[in-house]
Amino acid sequence: MHVLVLGRDGPQFVHEEHPLHEEHQAYMDRWLPRLLARGPLLSPDEHEGSVHVVRVDDPHMGHAFAFEEPFAAAGWYAAVTVTPYLPLTDGTMWDRPRAPRGTRSSFVTATSTPGGTYDDWVFAGSLLDADGLVVGFAGALDLTEHEAAARVPGAEVSRWRRGGRDQEV
């Protein structure tokens, strides 16, 4: 099974250089074989949250991944959600083509799954309830927020960037 973990920064989140940022990277390094996607949500001037899609053995493992993560454990997030997730794209975000340097990307959530194919999505999947029923959609596209919103009408769209040590800042 997979889960989508969404952490929203709280007022205590430290945006400047801090040892906890390296602890977060080291934690993610240990989970890398299970990660399908990761990256920060961005406001016009700073980090405003984190997105992770991870393969887990059971819901308990998903909860542990989310709440043992250093930012969550330190109380830097105002909210953390863990939602069962059914991938609609093959592979991981690292298997997908990279957009040209400088291209903006967007994270999209919606109450219904958009039609069509997902070949051009960085990652995409259905959000599930505890019974496995589809209750929404989440994914990322290499499009501006405006372009992504036009692509998925009625969606909530945030600026997003691929995360990880090998990604440009």
Residue 169 falls inside a structural domain: no
| Alpha helices in 2-143, H assignment, sequence order | 19-31, 59-68, 70-73
pTM exceeding the 0.85 threshold for the entire prediction? yes
In-domain check, residue 108: yes
For residue 165, being part of any structural domain is answered with no
Domain contains 168? no
pLDDT, residue 168, reads 43
Q: Are the C-beta atoms of residues 128 and 85 closer than 8 Å to each other?
A: yes
Kindly state whether residue 84 falls inside one of the protein's structural domains.
yes
Q: What pLDDT does residue 15 have? A: 84
What pLDDT, on a 0 to 100 scale, did the predictor assign at position 166? 67
What pLDDT band is residue 167 in, cutting at 50, 70 and 90?
low
Dihedral Cα 159, 162, 90, 138, nearest 10 deg? -30
> What's the CA gap between 82 and 145, in Å, rounded?
24
C-alpha span between 41 and 48 (Å, rounded): 5
Residue 54 lies in a domain: yes
Instruction: Tell me, yes or no, whether 100 lies in a domain.
Output: yes
77: containing domain: 2-160
Count the domains in the chain. Answer: 1
Instruction: Answer whether residue 32 is part of any domain.
Output: yes
User: pLDDT digits over 39-84, tens only?
Assistant: 999 987 788 999 999 999 999 999 999 999 999 999 999 999 999 9
Q: What is the pLDDT of residue 107?
A: 98
118-149 confidence digits (pLDDT tens): 999 999 999 999 999 999 999 999 999 999 99
CATH of the domain at 27: 3.30.70.1060
pLDDT recorded at residue 16? 86
